[in-house]
Amino acid sequence: MIAEPLTCQPALVSMRDLDVRTVEALIHRAEEFKHGTELELTEPVYAANLFFENSTRTHTSFEIAERRLGLSVVDFNPQASSVSKGETLYDTCLTLAAVGVRLLVIRHSQDAYYQELLHQPALPVALINAGDGSGEHPSQSLLDMMTISETFGGFAGLKVAIVGDLNHSRVARSNMEVLQKLGAQVYFSGPEAWYDNQFDQFGQYLPIDELVEQVDVMMMLRVQHERHNDDSTFDQAAYHQQYGLTLARAARMKPEAIIMHPGPINRGVELASDLVESPRSKFVEQMRNGVFIRMAMIESVLRGNRLGGLA
Ligand code: NCD
């Protein structure tokens, strides 16, 4: 067993690994794909999407991104795979690499599951993290940055509030890091029990009524019930009134300010239902951008793999 992480494996697993120039280059490339740039493969390239947690947006948009790049997508269903016979994640990846898969996109409930894959002898496969437990969610984060960049033309001085279940949200974790790196001012809100003092290094906690008038972006998060030990006392209506973006609060936002949400939305909980498709909301645009940013991410890791498959 090799103890040190292998840096030679092409992977995009955490926003921590990306510098500002790389983030900007990925957004720029995603814009090109959005405006019609196409790639030509010189040989077949196989991709497999391993989703051990439920997903609608991330899974389908990775698959569409792969197909738009000309990749062949291998069907993988964890329930029907040998994982149910006790095979480890590493051995599953080893198998897929051996049969010719060159890109693995993985979502898993275990925080930093990818360490196990990067510490082993290097797998001849590129790896993208599509969400690890409460850890990170780089593709969501990059599509969020793309959407903010398209809307405001940059990040310097922009005030962005991340609101809700911060402690359990991989979207929040990835976004607070990169927003600060890009020069935005980050604010947090939501139940204090779901706030961790380590977030202080990235931004400032304020009650929602104090920040709603100040910020350019209200980024609302779903309550991560599946990551809570006991949710039996959770009251949706009370949460909405105390911490949610109600219609009354939204009416106090700055004229150009936007609402974002990674989805899935629990309407009437973190966000009033009528706001989901309101003119302020970027929810649909975020999902659209998700395909293009994932195309850029896939291209980048595949080029790192020096496959020769990309023209
Ligand atoms: C997020 C996730 O899975 O972390 N959803 C997504 O990928 N668009 C957010 C969530 O589940 O609340």
Per the annotation, the verdict on 159 as an active-site residue is no
Does the annotation mark 57 as catalytic?
A: yes
Residue 263 C-alpha to ligand 1 middle, in angstroms? 6
- Is 263 annotated as contributing to ligand binding? yes
| 85 is annotated as an active-site residue | yes
Of all atoms in ligand 1, which is nearest to the CA of residue 290? Answer: 8
| Residue 140 assigned as binding residue | yes
pLDDT at 189: 98
Q: Going from the N-terminus, what domains does the chain have, and what CATH number goes with each?
A: 11-137+288-304 (3.40.50.1370), 138-282 (3.40.50.1370)
| Ligand 1 pocket check for 140: Cβ under 6 Å | yes
Q: Is 286 in the pocket of ligand 1 (CB under 6 A)?
A: no
Hey, what amino acid is at 204? Q
Closest CA to 250 of 235, 226, 221, 272: 272
- Amino acid 121: pLDDT: 81
Is the CB of 170 inside a 6 Å radius of any atom of ligand 1?
yes
pLDDT of residue 5: 44
pLDDT per 10-residue tile (average), the chain, 311 residues: 52 92 96 95 94 96 97 92 90 95 96 89 92 97 98 97 97 97 98 96 98 98 91 93 98 98 97 98 98 97 69 53
Written as one string, the DSSP assignment of the chain is: ---SPPTTS-EE--GGG--HHHHHHHHHHHHHHHTT----BSS--EEEEEESS--SHHHHHHHHHHHHTTPEEEP--GGGSGGGGT--HHHHHHHHHHTTEEEEEEEESSTTTHHHHHHSSPPSSEEEEEEETTS--HHHHHHHHHHHHHHHS--TT-EEEEES-GGG-HHHHHHHHHHHHHTPEEEEES-GGG--GGGGGTEEE--HHHHTTT-SEEEE----GGG-S--TT--HHHHHHHHSB-HHHHTTS-TT-EEE--S---BTTTB-GGGTTSTTB-HHHHHHHHHHHHHHHHHHHHHHTT-S-B-
pLDDT at 310: 58
170 is annotated as contributing to ligand binding: yes
For residue 47, what are the β-bridge partners? 73, 103
Report the separation in Å between the CA atom of 54 and the middle of ligand 1, taken as the mean of its atom positions: 9
Out of 29, 92, 102, 107, the active site residue is 107
Residues near 90 by Cβ (< 8 Å), separated by ≥ 6?
116, 117, 120
Among protein residues, the one whose CA lies closest to atom 12 of ligand 1: 222
pLDDT at 56: 96
57 is annotated as contributing to ligand binding: yes
99-137, pLDDT tens digit by residue? 999 999 999 999 999 999 987 788 889 999 999 999 999
Query: In the prediction, which pLDDT does 4 show?
Result: 43
Which pLDDT does position 140 carry in this prediction? 98
Gap from CA of 3 to ligand 1 centroid (Å): 31
Global pTM value: 0.95
What is the spatial distance between Cα 300 and Cα 294, in angstroms, rounded to a whole number? 10
- How far is CA 308 from its chain centroid? 28
